[in-house]
Amino acid sequence: MSATNPPQRAIKLFSKGLEFHQLNALDDAARCYQNALEMHGSFFDAQHLLGVIAAQQEQFELAVALITKALNIRADEGAFSNRGLALHQLGQYQAALKDFDSAISFNPNNPQSHYNRGNALQEIKQYEAALRSYDQAIALDPSNAEIYNNRGNTLQEIKQYEAALRSYDQAIALDPSNANAHYNQGNALQEIKQYEAALRSYDQAIALNPSNAEAFNGRGGCLEKQRKYQAAATQYLNAIQLNPTYEIALFNLANSLQTLGKPKSALEYYLRVLEQNKNNIEAHINCANTLRTLRQYDQALVHYQRALTLDPHAKFLRGMALHLKMMMCDWSNFDDDIALLAQAIECGQVASEPFPILSIYNSLQYQLDLSSAYQADKFKGLQPIPWAAKYPKKERIRIAYYSTDFREHPVSLLLAELFEKHNRSQFEVFAFSLGENTNDPMRQRLKKAFDHFIDVQDLSDTDIVALSRKHEIDIAIDLGGYTAGSRSEIFQLRVAPIQISYIGYLGTMGTPCIDYLIADKVLIPAQLSPFYTENIAYLPSYQANVSTREIASRSFIRSEYGIPENHFVFCCFNNNYKITPPVFKSWMHILKEVQNSVLFLYAENQWVQSNLEKSALGHGVAKERLIFGQRLSTPEYLARYRIADLFLDTFPYNAGTTASDALWMGVPVLTLAGETFSSRMAASLLTAIDMPELITNTPAQFENRAIEIAKNRGLLSGLKSKLEDNKENTRLFDTPKFIQSLESCYLAMYERGLNDLDPTDLG
């Protein structure tokens, strides 16, 4: 193009355009610039400013095209900068970076160009280079608050939160009215868990800009981390009122509502998130979790499967989806599902939480690998809080049980008498209740059983640790492990000098924060202890029990379930997710071999019965031979065992409380023992009641033994007589002796701690 000077008429039109431009009359300014260009096609300034107006009107592609024409007329610092800014808005950060570099080559002393360059580098995650550009900009213009603000953002990206806070402090000192700097300061403070300070920063940001939805969302995050879920929900609602399509706030509100026990409301907001973004994996997962809470399992499975399609490697997802299918006894693609999950575990992926695989794999290696990977992910950056001082020796050792299940729950049913009968001359006994206050009869009983019953469900992890240390708890017993609602983070932070895992989670936690796992030598033979990160505290018998049980006076009769009196009744009242296709195949083989027999099962949901009936037909067994019972009160559930002849166990997750229940009610339990803790649980109980003849080691032995017992009424009668005698004369239901052995373990652990000796296997 010609570089001749434009004619006077073109210059006048351009000048008029500048006047309109300064008045923000952009369309009028653009017409003037365009007319000037028509008079003189190489009028650089008109061409350049025409592009600037396009950018101001957010027509960034047009802006790039127009400014490129200007740069074809001549190279210019301002044109490079403005085209770079338009490219930045289009997400073309590498191209923008080249333009900012060109602008800097024209004028290395322009702080704005270095600032723009830093912004582009931040977008492409070249954080160290971005910091150098911001530092250069600050050296040239140390009074620019926005540079310090963005520099702080870059430092946050590389998790240098303290340095980020210093940058925000400088930005705020230069410009106290900079709402973004206050907001970003709040984000950094939240990251380092200074929640009260973060709230003050968000409040300042909101005071300066009441329409800042992000600051309300940030406030919600702080409150949520302090377990103030209702207050958090209010803040998320404030953010959504300002921006009804704010995806993150919608998602956070749904999470808070779910935690508050309002799953229907939570579901509404998860679905709103998915309206905004149908590919939001976390929303699909949490939507599925909420639908599970609402027992809409079929719809939950749809969302899990959609999430798997979007990201088959998402954390925990594959295990959650498979566990839900097992809860429904939906075994479609079962072999493929377990193979893919096994492959993920072998590759070190956290493809599941640890609990679901207890019912899938008879593999200690898988359990150790997954638990280790899970705790590394869950406890990332979480370090034990240092001790102020070692606790002095006490007249009574302070032991504390931590659980979400101080209510009508199998764990509490087994342990209630233990809590009541601890030796109070040696032990002061605390309960830290992590779960909901159900106010049911069991909770009322437990409140009286402890010396101190402390409800901490609304306290943060650090507050629970502080409270535990205030009470100088010597030994902390985790009754939850990696089960639903557990707070394993508090043990990582260290609530007590000695920390124990017992009864809630049947396997290794895979973390050094748990010093001991309580077991027996049937559950964990010495040769298998290397698969556990904990030291093993061996008791003569693992499972606590109660010495009395309330049994309903109601007489259950077979005819009310359509069972002929002369039929042999196999039963299994384990949770449905414990039933695997190989187990069910064994059961069906047994039914086919034992004419006039039925299998009495518990159906947790509507899909179980239909899926198991279809599977039975596939094995050539009439569906009428499966009898389904529903959940009953504990006294009635126990009384119902009188209908049954033989309990058939599941594998690799055995019966625990249900096995004790069956044995208490005089029903023999036939089990298959594997190598994992959960697959040896019933064998432990049968050993404790001295009935090893009911322990098998292969599926074939299990099937043959069940058939033998069912076909030989004399054999069954002998087993029942022996069971009745052994119930009174063996250690399984001898609660006082169990308590003595457990307390001896606690004393040994405490003495080692007093003498500064590391934990070791005991017993």
Residue 8 neighbours by CB under 8 Å, 6+ apart = none
Position 499 pLDDT exceeds 80: yes
Region 499-513: mean pLDDT is: 96
- At the second CATH level, the architecture of 397-538 is 3-Layer(aba) Sandwich (3.40)
Region 248-266: mean pLDDT is: 97
Position 466 pLDDT exceeds 60: yes
Pick the CATH number of 559-733 from 3.40.640.10, 3.30.1360.20, 3.30.420.10, 3.40.50.2000: 3.40.50.2000
Beta sheet of 397-403, edge-to-edge order: 452-455, 427-433, 397-403, 475-478, 498-501, 516-519, 535-538
Give the position of tokens 């009160």. Answer: 633
Region 703-719: mean pLDDT is: 97
Distance of CA 475 to the CA centre of its chain: 26
pLDDT tens per residue across span 407-424: 999 999 999 999 999 999
Q: What is the pLDDT of residue 3?
A: 55
Position 467 pLDDT exceeds 90: yes
C-alpha 287/C-alpha 292 separation (Å) is 9
Plot region of 41 (φ>0 → left; ψ -120 to 50 → alpha; else → beta) = alpha
Region 250-266: mean pLDDT is: 97
Residue 68 neighbours by CB under 8 Å, 6+ apart = 83
Give the position of tokens 């124990």. Answer: 500
DSSP tally for the chain: helices H, then strands E: 34, 13
Domain with CATH 3.40.50.2000 in the chain: 559-733
Domain with CATH 1.25.40.10 in the chain: 8-219, 259-378
C-alpha 126/C-alpha 120 separation (Å) is 9
Q: Is 242 exposed, middle or buried (0-12, 13-18, 19+ CB in 10 A)?
A: middle
Instruction: Please provide the size of the chain in residues.
Output: 763
Region 399-411: mean pLDDT is: 96
Q: Tell me the sheet residues that pair with 600.
A: 571, 627
Transcribe 626-690 into DSSP letters: EEEE----HHHHHHHGGG-SEEEPPSSS--SHHHHHHHHTT--EEEE--SSSTTSHHHHHHHHTT
C-alpha 2/C-alpha 95 separation (Å) is 27
Report the SS3 class of residue 391.
coil
Residue 468 neighbours by CB under 8 Å, 6+ apart = 400, 432, 476, 490, 495, 496
β pairing state of 452-455 and 427-433: parallel
Residue 658 neighbours by CB under 8 Å, 6+ apart = 573, 574, 647
Per-residue CA distances from 57 to 33, 46, 60, 87, 319 (Å): 15, 17, 8, 14, 49
Pull the structure tokens for residue 409.
Answer: 């729950």
- pLDDT bin (cut points 50, 70, 90) of residue 4 is confident
Q: How many CA atoms lie within 13 A of 249 on its CB side?
A: 24
Region 361-369: mean pLDDT is: 98
The pTM (predicted TM-score) of the whole model is 0.89
Position 260 pLDDT exceeds 60: yes
pLDDT tens per residue across span 50-97: 999 999 999 999 999 999 999 999 999 999 999 999 999 999 999 999
Pull the structure tokens for residue 495.
Answer: 């609530």
CATH number of 8-219: 1.25.40.10
Residue among 648, 601, 650 nearest 362 (CA): 650
pLDDT tens per residue across span 165-220: 999 999 999 999 999 999 999 999 999 999 999 999 999 999 999 999 999 999 99
pLDDT tens per residue across span 524-560: 999 999 999 999 999 999 999 999 999 999 999 999 9
Position 133 pLDDT exceeds 70: yes
Position 481 pLDDT exceeds 60: yes
Residue among 41, 14, 43 nearest 30 (CA): 14
C-alpha 283/C-alpha 658 separation (Å) is 36
Q: What is the mean pLDDT of the chain?
A: 96
Position 122 pLDDT exceeds 60: yes
Position 5 pLDDT exceeds 90: no
Domain with CATH 3.40.50.11380 in the chain: 397-538
Region 348-352: mean pLDDT is: 96
Residue among 662, 631, 603, 634 nearest 410 (CA): 634
Do residues 17 and 29 lie in contact, with contact meaning Cβ atoms separated by under 8 Å? yes
- pLDDT bin (cut points 50, 70, 90) of residue 2 is very low
Q: What is the pLDDT of residue 181?
A: 98
CATH number of 259-378: 1.25.40.10
Do residues 458 and 423 lie in contact, with contact meaning Cβ atoms separated by under 8 Å? no
Region 602-622: mean pLDDT is: 97
Q: What is the pLDDT of residue 1?
A: 40
- Give the whole-number percent of the chain exceeding pLDDT 90: 97
Q: Tell me the sheet residues that pair with 598.
A: 569
C-alpha 199/C-alpha 209 separation (Å) is 15
Q: What is the pLDDT of residue 381?
A: 81
C-alpha 483/C-alpha 239 separation (Å) is 33
